[in-house]
């Protein structure tokens, strides 16, 4: 008996995006981290033994990209997530140790909780991504990013991202993407079911942002577990988010997959291995990540074997 044979007629029959090949996803889960031909030659998964290594390595990589741009005398544009988060304290630590002045850095938070009209939480709300970024990162840096150079995904500011990033690139800035991979293989909150709206990959790739985006139920449940202590009723069902028209512009990408829980449980193994092996497909947003140069830090246990256990 297998999952696919039992899905017909069940509540899950129309639950997953229409463009998902579930058999192919299952096959991805057997492949570990072996390289694929479609990967960028400078894309590298980096294994971490535990969350402490993960946070430190990823924080160092973020700080190093900021320092390298400062050393070159260049501006730097950086797209930032709220999740994972543990790397930010280490990024701030290294920037402070190296006495890096971050006045050359322009940041763009990739998403924010919203309602259907794109209205976001007050930035004093502890659940808001703007509040989280200030507490975890900006307020910890001695020579921090000027407030005028910090961009958050409010409905009036998110539409300005494309022109701001374009201008910075014209001025010689590199664009660095920092990201996590969602349970539904989203990057930012660009969900896989959005692909149904586009007639081609080319059209999909041109989408720079979305206001009040509808989130998949598994995205909501993922965040209930990771950010709201299981309280689903606190998780917004929509968000403002960047799209592939921005994150696929990245000159370098720093990723993190830390979705392991206690007692051998985890939520991110399938998403991580699908990202690595499925091949670029607009129905599974994160499958484009290996086509970008950069590093994807991951907890060792997410690479498998992904097998049944009683926990």
User: Out of 3.40.228.10, 3.40.50.1360, 3.40.50.970, 3.40.50.300, which CATH number does the structure's domain 39-302 have?
Assistant: 3.40.50.1360
Q: Where are the domains of the chain?
A: 39-302
How far is the C-alpha of 97 from the C-alpha of 58, rounded, in Å?
16
Strands 174-180 and 209-214: unpaired
Q: Would you give the distance in Å from CA 9 to the centre of its chain?
A: 33
Angle among Cα 239, 183, 54 to the nearest 5 degrees reads 105
Structure tokens at 99: 């006495």
Structure tokens at 309: 């256990």
How far is the C-alpha of 194 from the C-alpha of 242, rounded, in Å?
13
pLDDT, residue 262, reads: 86
* Burial of residue 4, with CB atoms counted within 10 A of its CB: 0-12 exposed, 13-18 middle, 19 or more buried: exposed
- Which helix (H) or strand (E) element contains residue 114? strand 111-114
b/e per residue, 16-54, with b = 16+ CB within 10 A?
A: bbeebeeeebbebbeeebeeeeebeeebebbebeeeeeb
Give me the helix-helix angle, 129-136 and 87-97, nearest 10°. 40
Of the candidates 20, 52, 53, which has an alpha carbon nearest to the alpha carbon of residue 216?
20
How far is the C-alpha of 276 from the C-alpha of 35, rounded, in Å?
8
Q: Measuring CA to CA, how many Å separate 267 from each of 183, 189, 211, 235?
A: 7, 17, 27, 18
- Which helix (H) or strand (E) element contains residue 113? strand 111-114
How far is the C-alpha of 107 from the C-alpha of 87, rounded, in Å?
16
Phi and psi at residue 114, in whole multiples of 5°? -155, 170
- Which helix (H) or strand (E) element contains residue 209? strand 209-214
> How far apart are the two ends of the chain, measured CA to CA in Å?
22
| Cβ atoms of residues 255 and 295 within 8 Å | yes
Structure tokens at 214: 């509808």
Q: Measuring CA to CA, how many Å separate 55 from each of 39, 81, 264?
A: 24, 14, 19
Regions in the chain scoring below 50 on pLDDT: none
Phi and psi at residue 165, in whole multiples of 5°? -70, -40
**pTM above threshold 0.85:** yes
Of the candidates 73, 63, 252, which has an alpha carbon nearest to the alpha carbon of residue 171?
73
Mind listing the pLDDT tens digit for each residue in 42-83?
Answer: 999 999 999 999 999 999 999 999 999 999 999 999 999 999
């Amino acid at each position: 008996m297998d999952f696919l044979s039992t899905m017909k007629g069940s509540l899950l029959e129309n639950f997953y995006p229409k463009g998902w090949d579930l058999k192919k996803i299952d096959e991805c889960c057997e492949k570990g981290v072996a390289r694929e031909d479609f990967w960028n030659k400078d894309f590298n998964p980096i294994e971490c033994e535990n969350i402490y290594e993960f946070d430190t390595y990823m924080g160092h990589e973020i700080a190093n990209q900021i320092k390298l741009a400062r050393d070159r005398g260049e501006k730097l544009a950086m797209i930032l997530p709220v999740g994972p988060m543990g790397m930010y304290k280490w990024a701030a630590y290294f920037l402070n140790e190296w006495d890096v002045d971050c006045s050359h850095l322009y940041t763009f938070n990739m998403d924010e909780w919203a309602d259907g009209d794109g209205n976001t939480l007050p930035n004093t709300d502890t659940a808001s991504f703007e509040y989280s970024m200030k507490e975890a990162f900006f307020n910890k840096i001695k020579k921090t990013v000027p407030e005028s150079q910090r961009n958050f995904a409010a409905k009036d500011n998110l539409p300005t991202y494309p022109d701001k990033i374009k201008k910075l690139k014209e001025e010689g800035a590199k664009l660095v993407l920092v990201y996590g991979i969602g349970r539904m293989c989203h990057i930012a909150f660009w969900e896989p079911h959005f692909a149904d709206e586009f007639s081609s990959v080319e059209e999909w790739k041109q989408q720079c942002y979305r206001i009040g985006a509808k989130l998949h139920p598994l995205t909501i449940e993922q965040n209930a577990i990771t950010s709201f202590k299981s309280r689903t009723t606190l998780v917004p069902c929509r968000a403002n988010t960047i799209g592939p028209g921005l994150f696929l512009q990245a000159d370098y990408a720093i990723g993190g997959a830390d979705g392991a829980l206690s007692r051998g449980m985890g939520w991110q193994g399938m998403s991580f291995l699908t990202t690595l092996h499925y091949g670029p497909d607009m129905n599974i947003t994160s499958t484009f990540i290996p086509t970008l140069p950069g590093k994807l830090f991951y907890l060792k246990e997410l690479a498998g074997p992904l097998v049944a256990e009683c926990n």
